[in-house]
Amino acid sequence: MIRIAIFASGSGSNAEKISEYFAEKPNVEISLILTNNPLAGVIMRARKLHIPVVIFDKKTFYDTDRILQLLQNEKTDFIVLAGFMMLIPDFLVKAYPEKIVNIHPALLPKHGGKGMYGHFVHEAVVAAKETESGITIHFVNERYDEGNIISQITCEVSATDTPDDVAKKVQVLEHENYPKVIEEVITKIKTD
């Protein structure tokens, strides 16, 4: 059994899609959802899915090892970031090398880095007059959006697309592909 913890800061639509996908897989369990936002929509989604939720603050995350201890106590094998807005601390990256994945709503290395998330990314894509965008699924390292790329899936961006139009196209790609790519990565880890 592979135990996955999901970190999310927002509405949690990706966390929900991932949880629903793996509910059908007997060898994988979403054991925990963690958030730094006590008002995050992901909390209600997790409760609806009967997945335990942990809410933590910035000081706990960066200045203590409580989250790491919790993950280890829960026998967490793999971590998925799904709209999580905080940089992962070095000690957590070192404890889970190549076992933390993130999704970025653009084709890295373009439109990545600190402050580039959600609507900011889609606005940058439109402002740059890109003809395509998409998602990048990557391993997490100590810097925003710089870990090794696992997969990129593209969508067309037309000259008349607004940032909202791009966001809708990208979210479809996220929901369709993120769970499948996670499954591919954890299958590879199991066989290594």
Active-site positions? 104
Q: How far is the CA of 121 from the CAs of 3, 65, 75, 81, in angstroms?
A: 31, 32, 34, 17
The set of residues, in sequence order, having a beta carbon less than 8 Å from that of 37 and lying 6+ positions away, is: 9, 10, 55
Q: How far is the CA of 173 from the CAs of 9, 22, 101, 104, 106, in angstroms?
A: 20, 18, 16, 11, 11
By the 8 A CB rule, do 149 and 136 touch?
yes
Q: Which amino acid is at 11?
A: S
- What is the SS3 assignment for 184? helix
Residue 52: enclosing H or E segment and its boundaries?
none
Owner of token pair 């998602």: 135
